[in-house]
A and B are shown apart, each in its own frame.
Chain A
Amino acid sequence: EVQLVESGGGLVQPGGSLRLSCAASGFTFDSYAMSWVRQAPGKGLEWVSAISSGGSSTYYADSVKGRFTISRDNSKRTLHLQMNSLRAEDTAIYYCARSTTVVNTIFDYWGQGTLVTVSS
């Protein structure tokens, strides 16, 4: 059974940093691209970042480019999102999601999400 479990969310002040993690199980982690998708309270879905299966290629939404860094550790089957210079508008539930590739990305499995709140 595919499982994705996010962690690392919490309350952080504007300008602060947070590192999210996503632990994967039930599939060959290093064969799949991974993404982060977020959902602000009561709002729709926004893709944030993606990384190729080997980790050599990364992609970012303009809204987070230069502030967020996606990475993965295939030996530990873990995906990360380092979030710096956080803003109030980054407040959201952050989901990690699996896709077959970073091209023509389809999110076929999702974690349960971790809540990030940016507030003073």
Chain B
Amino acid sequence: DIQMAQSPSSLSASVGDRVTITCQASQSISNYLNWYQQKPGKAPKLLISAASSLQSGVPSTFSGRGSGTDFTLTISSLQPEDFATYYCQQSYSAPWTFGQGTKVEIK
């Protein structure tokens, strides 16, 4: 199975801050990497697919980069509605695995 390691596991930031979350795969997954946002008590929401493809309706403050084993999700200017937990997921091979999550909290 492909293991996905996210860092940090949590972070505190202020509105307007630039935030970067990293995700590392245990083997090369090309660009088969997706990012999800989950707010408390809600289902996850797909933000970015194929490492860098922003889903329709997702603010342009979100961006994704990477290929192979190392990936990043960046929020260029944190907004109040962005405080949530973020998960990466590899879609390279089954079983489809997720990172452990990064909780973005208000400083």
Contacts and interface: CB of A to CB of B under 8 A. Distances in A.
A45 B98 contact: yes
A44 B91 contact: no
Contacts of A50: 94, 96
Interface string B83-97: 000010101101111
Contact of B94 (A45, A59, A112): A59
Contacts of B42: 112
Contact of B46 (A35, A44, A106): A106
B96 A105 contact: yes
A51 to B, nearest CB: 12
B18 interface: no
Contacts, number: 53
Interface size class of B (residues with CB under 8 A): 20 to 34
Chain A interface mostly helix, strand, loop or mixed? loop
Contacts of A105: 91, 94, 96
20 contacts: A44-B87, A45-B44, A45-B87, A45-B89, A45-B101, A46-B98, A47-B96, A47-B98, A50-B94, A59-B94, A59-B95, A62-B95, A104-B32, A105-B91, A105-B94, A105-B96, A106-B49, A107-B34, A108-B55, A112-B43
